[in-house]
Amino acid sequence: MRRLVRGLTSLIALTGMVVAAVPSAGTTTGTTTGTAADQPEFPYQPTTYTEPYRGQFHFSSQGGWMNDPNGLLHHKGTYHFFYQHNPHGLGWDTMHWGHATSTDLVHWTQKPIALEPGVHPGDLWSGAGVVDAANTSGLREGAEDPLVVFSGTNGVSVFYSTDAGRTFKAYDNGRKVVTMPGTSRDPKVFRHAASKRWVMLVWSDEGGNGVNLYSSPDLLDWTFLSRYAAGWLFECPDFFALPVDGDRRGTKWVLTDASGEYVVGDFDGTTFTTDWDEPQRMDHGTNHAGGSFYAGQVFNDMPDDRVVQMAWMGGNQGATWTGNASFPAVLGLRTTGDGVRLTRQPIKELEKLRYRTSSWRGRGLTPATAAKLLRDQSLDTYEVEAEFDVRGATAERFGFKLDVRPGGDAGSEVLYDTRARTLMSAPLEPSRGRVTMRILVDRGQLEVFGNDGLASITRNVAFDPRADSRGVALHVEGGGVRLVSLRIHELAPAWGMGEPTLEHNLPGQWRVVSGSWTDVAAGKQGSAGGDAFYLSDHTGADFTYEGDVRLVDGAAAALTFRAGPRAERHYTANVDAEAGVVKLWRPGRDIATYKAPIKAGRTYHLKVVTQGRSIKVYLDDRAEPVIDAKDDQYASGRFGLNVFDGTAQFQNIRVS
Ligand code: FRU
C-alpha cells in the first residue's frame, strides 16, 4: 500500500497529472495533507550506537541514508535537527525529512520522521525552518509557537508544526509560495531584524547560478527583492551576519553555497553586495555532494548570539545507515593579512564529553623524542589540543599520526608543513610564531581546526575498528620544533540519553520495570497482562504531575508517583475503562474512585497534585479535582507510567 502511494506520487510528478481538485491559492490556511503520526518507518531498527564507524559524538540517523541538514532551529531549550533522509535504504532515494532533537547540541535523540512523501506533498528536498513566535503567519493553533519549515523543488512549499515539532502539516496543500524560472531549490529563510521582515534565499540556475532574495511579513506571502548571481554559487545557499573580530559594530554578511565557498559583504534588507571577486573555502575536506563537508546550514533562533553550523559528511556507512553530520561549529569572521576570513571552531559544549585528560607542556621535540611521547596511548574517540612554537623550527613537518597500528602504520595524519605553510594542504600562516591544532577523532570522522578555526579540515576516515589500532603518535620530521602544550581529552559517547517519542520534562533516565514498552509516533506505548510500569529516575514529594493517557485496548492507563525503584511501592492514578472510573490506588488499597465513562481510543489528561497527605486527581480540563483524598503511606518517590491488562499510550508528561 505504501509503495503504491509512493509510486503514484512519482507518477504524478513525472506526468504532471493532477488527481484531485486543489483549493485555489491562498484560500485555506492549515490544510492538513497529513501528519507524520502514523509512520511505519518508525521506530527504526534498534541500535546501541556502538557499531564500528558509527560516530560516537557525530550525529547520524539511527537508520537509513542521510544527506543535507535541514530546518536547523532552536525552540524553547530544544535544538531541532532535520535532515534529508531515505529511511528505506542506504542510498539517496525518496527524500523524507528525518528528525532529531537535543538540549545541548551534543546529545541527540532520534525522533519520528517529520516530512514524508505521500503524506506531505512535493519533493521534500532541502530547506530551512524558523520559529514564528509572534505568530506572523497566523498558523498558531494552541499554546505552541508555530515551527515553519520550507522545502520543495522548482518552487517553495511551506510546512508547519503546531505541536513543537512532533508533527507537520502542509500549508495550503503544499501550494508553492514562491516560483521562478529555471531549476530551483534549497530555500533558506531567516528573520531579518533590521527590516523586521522574513527573508528567503532560493538557489536557481536562471541565466547561470545564483540566488533570488525575497521578503515577507508573514512567511506565506513573498515579494521578490533582488538576485545575486555568481558562477560558483551552487545549491544550498546559506546567509548570515557575523561581527568581524567579535566587534558588533563591524557586522558583515556571509553568503555560502553547498561546497562551503563563501563571500563576505553587506546586506541592506534588499540587496547583497560584495567587493570580493572570488569566493574562499570555509573547509578543506572533500567539498562535493557525498564528500566530507557539504550543504552546511546554521541554526535559526539561537538562544545566544552564536552562529552554529552543521554540515553533511557523506563518506561514512555502517550496516544500517549512511552518512552523518559534522560536529556543530561556531562560525566567526577574523581579520588576517589576506583580508577577512571565516573561522570554524567546535562548540564549547563538546567539553561535556571529556572524561579523562592527559597533558604535556614545554618540550623541544626531535623526531626521536616526539615518537616516544605518546607511546602508551590507546584511544577510541578523543580530542587533541596542541600548540607548537615554529619560530626557529627546523622540522619540515610536524603533527600527529592517528589510528596507529602495532607495526607503526597510521590510518591518518594531521601534519603541518613548515615550508608550504599548510595544515593537511590547507593554507595556514603561523600566528605570532605559533601553530595550534584542535583535532576531533571519532570512529569514522576526523575534524581538524588550525589556529583557532582559521583552517578547517573535515574528513571521513575509515579508522580501523580493531582495539590494537588505536595508537596516536606525535610526529616530527627533518628537524626540531617546540611543543608549547598538548592536551588529549578522551571523549565519552553522546548517545543514549533521550526518549525518542515521549515528550516529557523530567531530568534523568526512564527505565522499564515491567511489561513491554516501545516508542510509537504518538508517544510511549506500554503493554502487559497485569501491571506494566515505566519509571523515571526522577523523584519528588510534593508536585503537580500530569500527562496525556490513551488506552488502545485493555483495562487501565495511569500516572504513577512516589514510587520505589521497582514499583514495589507507589501511588497510581488511572483511567479505568473496565470499571468506568478514575481511580487512585496503591499496592493493596483502592484509595478513591470517581465514576466516569472511560473509553479506549480517546486521550485523557490526568493531573495529580500532592501536598503532604493530600492527593488530588484532576481529569481533562475540569477546574475541580475528581478525587480529593488523604493518604500518608508514601511521602516521596519516583514518577512513572502504568498500564493494566492491555495497551496504552502516553504523551506530554510534565512535572512542576
Ligand atoms: C544537496 C542537494 C540539495 C537538494 C538535496 C536533495 O546535497 O542536492 O540541493 O535539495 O540534496 O536531497
Rounded Cα distance between 342 and 330, Å, is 10
Atom of ligand 1 nearest to the CA of 258: 1
Cβ of 289 below 6 Å from ligand 1: yes
The rounded distance, in Å, linking the Cα atoms of 386 and 373 is 13
Q: Is 95 in the pocket of ligand 1 (CB under 6 A)?
A: yes
pLDDT at residue 499, as a whole number: 87
Q: What is the CATH number assigned to the segment(s) 64-346? A: 2.115.10.20
Q: Are 627 and 619 in contact (CB under 8 A)?
A: no
Q: Which helix (H) or strand (E) holds 15?
A: helix 2-15
| Residue with the three cell numbers 506533498 | 121
CB-ligand 1 contact for 213 (6 Å cutoff): no
Q: Which CATH number fits domain 510-655: 3.40.50.300, 2.60.120.560, 3.20.20.70, 3.30.460.10?
A: 2.60.120.560
In angstroms, rounded to a whole number, what is the distance separating the alpha carbons of residues 471 and 478? 22
0.75 exceeded by pTM = yes
Architecture in CATH of 351-491: Sandwich (2.60)
CB atoms within 10 A of CB 38: 14
Cell of 523: 508517544
Closest C-alpha to ligand 1, atom 9: 235
> What's the gap in Å between 295 CA and the centre of ligand 1?
8
For atom 6 of ligand 1, the residue with the nearest CA is: 125
Please report, for the chain, the start and end positions of each structural domain, with discontinuous segments joined by +: 64-346, 351-491, 510-655
The pick from 66, 96, 126 for probing ligand 1's pocket by mutation, whose C-beta has the most ligand atoms within 8 angstroms, reads: 126
Top mutation candidate among 66, 83, 84, 202 for ligand 1, by most atoms within 8 Å of CB:
84
| Nearby residues of 621 by Cβ (< 8 Å), 6 or more positions away | 605
C-beta of 257 in contact with ligand 1 (< 6 A): no
Active site residues: 68
Q: Is the CB of 185 under 6 A from ligand 1?
A: yes
On the question of a common fold for 351-491 and 510-655, the answer reads yes
Atom of ligand 1 nearest to the CA of 68: 7
Ligand 1 within 6 A of 311 CB? Answer: no
The predicted-structure confidence for 175-211, as pLDDT tens digits, reads as follows 999 999 999 999 999 999 999 999 999 999 999 999 9
Pocket test for ligand 1, best of 83, 185, 257, 310 (most atoms within 8 A of CB): 185
**Beta-strand runs (E) in 468-579:** 471-477, 481-491, 510-512, 516-520, 523-540, 544-563, 571-576
| 124 C-alpha to ligand 1 centroid (Å) | 10
Cα of 70 vs centre of ligand 1, distance in Å, is 10
235 lines ligand 1 (CB under 6 A): yes
Please answer whether residues 10 and 93 qualify as being in contact, where contact means their C-beta atoms are separated by less than 8 angstroms: no
Probe residue for ligand 1, chosen from 235, 310, 312 as the CB with the greatest number of ligand atoms within 8 Å:
235
Closest to 532 in 3D by CA, of 651, 652, 656, 650: 650
Q: CA-CA distance, 206 to 436, in Å (whole number)?
A: 43
Low-confidence ranges of the chain (pLDDT < 50): 1-39
What's the pLDDT score for residue 40?
54
Q: Using a 6 Å cutoff on CB, does residue 186 contact ligand 1?
A: yes
**Ligand 1 atom having least distance to the Cα of 236:** 9
Question: Which phi and psi angles does 520 have, rounded to 5°?
Answer: -120, 160
Taking the CA of residue 186 as reference, the ligand 1 atom at the shortest distance is 10
